[in-house]
Structure 1
Amino acid sequence: MSLQILLSTYNGEKYIRTQLDSLLAQTYQDFKVLIRDDGSMDKTPEILEEYTHQDPRIVWYGCENIGVVYSFFDLMKHADMTCDYFAFSDQDDEWLPEKLEKAVKMLQTNNSDDPVLYCSDKIIVNEDLMPMDVHVRRDIRRPSFGNALVQGICTGCTAVWNQKLMETLIKHMPNHIENIVMHDWWLYMTASCFGKVCYDKGAYIRYRQHQNNKLGAMITKRQLFFYRLKQLSEPRGLIYRQVKEFVATFGKEMSKENVALATDLLKAEKSVFSRIKILKSKDIFRHKIDDNLVFRIILMLGKL
């Protein structure tokens, strides 16, 4: 079963060799790598060119800087649709050798004509790839569309998905990518709306934390607390815009139940009564008890 890895780079000269070496060291070898460089101004293009000569499975193309979300959507547009599976990759992590093999085996176990997404936990490491002391527990119990409306549980660098899900994504590209919070959140929404999400509690990736991370992991309760305070103080609306974009993109294809969930949430943007309805709902939620409480506070304050 063939697989294509979609990797976006930007000024990644410090870490990209480690990541590419870990891809090439996978126990599952039926893959190729498509890399989009997002306007790097360092030696990243030279390193990518070096690796294309080292292994013909690696191909890259360079474009102007458009940002991480746009870059990954552009990679999907250029994906090889003859492949059976697809995976996202960041430039600064290190994959354990069995990462792809674990994902493909779970996808094959859940073999289906429907869209299927695999994602997993990750090992949080520092710049030197040493494990960090993580105090924030990740608790994933029930992947669902109702959860996907308000929480992205799929970390893109762990994501692997089948051809049917990719066909769905390509057929229904959003018109306004600026309304999408992150590409991996959109992936989770699409899979949970039209198919199945398989979450692996195992961790097969060293997820590097450094000062240039576009998005990092919350590893301490103090860090998480101040992040939540920031959520309460900042003007919001990103989640509402993302859900509106999703409905505009997929509305005619969605089930009545999922349309109803999305509609209920969107009504809450302007209606206090609709917010109270969401508070009572068991279908729209975040996974951890404290996260769910914060979500409800943000909802009632109109900060989604």
Structure 2
Amino acid sequence: MAKTTISVALCTYNGEKYLAKQLDSILSQENPVDEIVVCDDGSTDNTQSILQDYQARFPELFRIFINEKNLGYVANFEKALSLCTGDLIFLCDQDDVWHQDKVKFILHYFKENPLIGVAAHNLDLIGTYDGKKTFWELKNFHSETKPSNHELLQYILINGNIFPGMSLAIRKKTLHDYLPLQKIDSILIHDYELIIKALRDEKFGLIPKNLGAYRQHDQQSIGFRENEKSQTSELTKIKLRSEHYLRLQKYTTAFNLNPKIAADYRQEIKDKYSLFLKEFSFPNRMVVHLKNKYYYKILHF
């Protein structure tokens, strides 16, 4: 049987602080990778010098591309992914850490699950919750329930992506089917889009094992910060849900998704809005509703 080749798609931008730790963790894998494709998006710090140093030490491994102009986070990742030649491609951020058995474990998983095109693993946390929670626990996601692809698709469409790019691996053939990215909006970044497509096609797999460490810090380009959570009024929540319903309709059309997911979400919003209106006396109920619909224009359902 032919050897499965492994590519790493790594994007950098002003990542000098943590980049070396990330690269060292890739180079320390029990199952070595075959290539590390790096697309730098015009860093102005010491990032490019660090990359050049590693390339000089491992010329057969590193393929480095410096963008002439800044592409932005999503387009840069799309470029890096498209340049990978391996059978199995690992997405990689510039500021995290891989556990030594990550490649070996994921390679075995894909061999045991030939129908899976994209897989995500759990993560330890570096930062506020270091050693206290995993990434999935922080997101209140429980893999032991063994959700189906349909259930996961509904969950992430309503609640947002809970599988960051640095936890993903994708088969080359699957990637070929899913590129170019459609880039529907700024919320639907590259990893989110790939996951939606894989879930739609019943090709997504979960690996309930911590195979890397996700770093929480203020300089993240994209990421989850627990302190960004805040209490909001019920009306604000309804407004946000209403706006999200419009996005969900867009995603449903763009990715040919089951329309029932959006329809069920619309009904859920309507039910919560009805409960909200019941807090007002009957004479005021219609006034509040008309203001919300026509003056504030926050109702899209």
TM-score range, shorter chain: 0.7 to 0.9
The alpha carbon displacement at 1:193 in A equals 0.7
Contact preservation (8 Å) 2:118, 2:169: yes
Amino acid at match of 1:261: K
* Larger of the two Rg values belongs to structure: 2
Equivalent in 101, 105, 121 of residue 104 of structure 2: 101
The answer on whether the counterparts of 1:180 and 1:242 sit within 8 Å (CA) in structure 2 is no
One-letter identity of the residue aligned with 1:71: N
1:147 aligned partner, one-letter code: Y
Cα deviation, residue 213, structure 1: 1.5
Deviations 1:131-155 (A, max 9, x none): 2544844323414332342231221
Q: Quote the offset at 1:215 in angstroms.
A: 3.4
Residues in 2 aligned to 1:163 and 1:27: alpha-carbon distance in whole angstroms? 22
Per-residue deviation, 1:277? 8.8
Q: Distance in 2 between matches of 1:229 and 1:91?
A: 37
Mapping of residues 138-177 of structure 1, within 5 Å = 138-140=141-143, 141=145, 142=147, 143-144=149-150, 145-150=153-158, 151-170=160-179, 172-174=180-182, 176=183
The 3-state SS of whatever aligns with 1:167 is helix
Q: Rate the CA distance shift 1:133–1:9 in 2: closer, same or farther, 3 A.
A: same
Q: Given residue 188 of structure 1, which amino acid in structure 2 is its aligned partner?
A: I
Partner of 2:218: 211
Match of 1:122 in 2: 123
Counterpart Cα distance in 2 of 1:38 and 1:207: 21
- Residue equivalent to 1:191: 198
> What is the rounded CA distance, in whole Å, between the counterparts of 1:303 and 1:124 in structure 2?
38
What is the total number of aligned residue pairs between the two structures?
A: 260
Residues 32 and 203 (structure 1), Cα distance of their counterparts in 2 relative to 1, 3 Å cut: same
Cα distance change, pair 243–156 in 1 and its aligned pair in 2 (3 A): farther
Q: Whole-Å Cα distance in 2 between the matches of residues 90 and 303 of structure 1?
A: 36
Deviation at 1:187, TM superposition (A): 1.4
Residue of 63, 79, 94 corresponding to 1:74: 79
- The TM-score normalised by the length of structure 2 is 0.74
Q: CA RMSD in A?
A: 3.3
Q: 1:84 to 1:234 in 2, by over 3 A?
A: same
Note the C-alpha offset of 1:46: 1.1
Would the alpha carbon gap of residues 85 and 73 (structure 1) be closer, same or farther in structure 2, given more than 3 Å must change? same
Q: How far, CA to CA, are the matches of 1:303 and 1:216 in structure 2?
A: 28
Which of 9, 26, 31 matches 2:29? Answer: 26
SS of the residue aligned with 2:166?
helix
1:39 paired residue number: 42
Equivalent position to 2:87, from 80, 84, 88:
84
Distance 2:52 2:245 in 1: 38
Return the alpha-carbon distance in structure 2 between the equivalents of residues 227 and 58 of structure 1: 46
Tell whether the 8 Å contact from 1:6 to 1:35 is kept in structure 2 after alignment: yes
Deviation per CA, 1:263-289: give whole Å up to 9, x if none. 637xx6xxx65854999xxxxxxxxxx
Q: 1:274 to 1:225 in 2, by over 3 A?
A: closer
Match of 2:250?
244
Mapped contact 2:74–2:190 kept (Cα < 8 A): yes
Q: Percent identity?
A: 22
Question: How many Å apart are 1:179 and its aligned residue?
Answer: 4.4
Contact 1:73 1:183 in 2 (8 A): yes
Unaligned 5+ runs, structure 1 = 252-257, 280-300
Aligned partner of 2:258 in structure 1 is 259
Distance 1:154 1:22 in 2: 20
- Structure 1 length-normalised TM: 0.73
CA drift at 1:173: 3.2
In the alignment, which residue of structure 2 is the partner of 1:131? 130
Indicate conservation of the 8 Å contact 2:239/2:299, yes or no.
no
Q: Are 2:124 and 2:213, in contact at CA under 8 Å, matched by a contact in 1?
A: yes
Q: For 2:157 and 2:222, how far apart are their aligned partners in 1?
A: 19
Q: CA 1:274/1:18 → structure 2, altered by over 3 Å: closer, same or farther?
A: closer
What is the distance in 1 between the residues matched to 2:71 and 2:39? 11
SS at match of 2:35: strand
The letter for the 2-side match of 1:131 is D
Give the secondary-structure state (helix, strand or coil) at the position aligned to 1:149.
Answer: helix
Per-residue deviation, 1:62? 1.1
Shift of the alpha carbon at 1:228? 6.7
